[in-house]
Amino acid sequence: MHDVISPVTEEIVATVPSTSVEETDAAIARAHEAFQTWRAVSPGDRARLLRRFAALVDEHNEELAQLEVRNSGHTIGNARWEAGNVRDVLNYYAGAPERLSGRQIPVAGGMDVTFYEPLGVVAVIVPWNFPMPIAGWGFAPALAAGNTVVLKPAELTPLTAIRLGELALEAGLPEGVFTVLPGKGSVVGERFVTHPLVRKVCFTGSTDVGKRIMAGCAQQVKRVTLELGGKSANIVFADADLAKAAAGAPGAVFDNAGQDCCARSRLLVQASVYDEFMALLEQSVQAFRCEDPSLETAQMGPLISAGQLASVKSYVDKAVIEGTAPGGPGYWMAPTVLAAESTEDRHWREEIFGPVLSVLRFDDEADAIRLANDTEYGLSGSIWTGDLGRGIRVARGVEAGNLSVNSNSSVRYWTPFGGVKQSGLGRELGPDALAAFSEVKNVFFSTEV
């Protein structure tokens, strides 16, 4: 058994079982057996079941959101959005089974057609920072494509995933089609990688663990999708709307207490407007509300654990701007801004995964691109400018999978999401996600007499 601790109160909110290797094997075997019937469910019926699942998630939005506040310390506003995102992703991919069509390719001497065939059992390993939406990004398209799913939530944040598994059964998904297995990564996650009946692993988490999973999957030539770390740049040019950019910068890095792979944790400001921008930023940071996440006004809650809090604080020496945070129980840390003296500063180079923003000046467009790309990561980022041509040039020049111009958004469920370099491999979401959960089968029919 494993105790689940609230990061808000430091109290035990639940005790959940830790799945053993034997139980994991049994669940994978059941998923493999269920795959034989699930893949044969007609596209229309599969779509109806996924829509029913989405409707149940919607009916339980507030329950799921309150559960996430207690388990993860997410603000209630964020948690409602996260449950809604699961609903929306399910609805989006519910439209896919009836549209997952192959092609007829002209050939000599007959007819050639392609089919999208499901892979089999898909394993989804979910991190603790966004337990609900990242689970949905994996299981929704996998189920829509005709696969069965075994899902391991993070040890720290299993409660909403367990509830989603219950709702899937209530919606009518057959036993074994979607199974949630709480437990240790070294037990359940490792078995996902080594079990021969698991045909694909979707992992979101640290780059180091992602590399080990990729190496393990290589032993069986097993498919893998990886969404890993980030150290994204927020680039502010002198011709930008500085007030708007400064107002958006805190949310771009401090949302979810900075525990976000897409966090714009490196702020690049053009030297000619640096002082003006920093004055605006200070106002925004000090107004950013870090408080009890159950409050409707909360913009940021606590960090997930005592260990994470200690890790984040180890990066902080002298803050140039600091917000406020509650005292007392909970893993609280105030939003913090650091000035980078060079690109070798540890807080500038490493993914901190906490509410810490590093700021550095740049000279011109070429310098901004060079500094933004000076990292092993490439997940997300923002570009603020009033020049459309510059926005296009810099967006094409920055090495990242997801960029926004005059915006800090990263994720839309109907557009592709993923990283480059050591931020990951493959793409999630968007219209093409089902291809990542399918094999293309080519069949030739001879018409020669």
What residues act catalytically? 227, 261
Beta-bridge mates of residue 3: 15
Residue with tokens 């000619």: 272
Q: Residue 256, Cα to own-chain centre: how many angstroms?
A: 12
User: How far, in Å, are 44, 91, 176, 378, 413 from residue 52 at the CA level?
Assistant: 12, 9, 17, 37, 19
Kindly list the strands in the beta sheet with 356-362, ordered across the sheet, starting from the edge strand earlier in the chain.
321-322, 336-339, 356-362, 266-270, 233-236, 381-384, 404-405
* d(C-alpha 157, C-alpha 6), whole Å: 9
DSSP 385-415: -S-HHHHHHHHHHS--S--EES------TTS
* d(C-alpha 281, C-alpha 284), whole Å: 5
Phi, psi (degrees; rounded to nearest 5) at 83? -65, -40
Residue 438 is inside which H or E element, if any? strand 438-446
CA triplet 20, 183, 212: central angle to 5 degrees? 95
End-to-end CA gap in the chain: 67
Residue 10 CB coordination number (10 Å): 14
Which regions of 271-393 does DSSP assign to beta strands (E)?
321-322, 336-339, 356-362, 381-384
User: How far, in Å, are 38, 286, 294, 313 from residue 75 at the CA level?
Assistant: 37, 18, 6, 21
Q: How many residues does the chain have?
A: 449
* d(C-alpha 440, C-alpha 117), whole Å: 6
Structure tokens at 257: 């207490």
Q: Estimate the share of the chain in helix, then strand, then coil, as percent rounded to the nearest 5.
A: 45, 20, 40
**Strand bridging mode 233-236 / 438-446:** unpaired
> DSSP 3-state assignment of 198?
strand
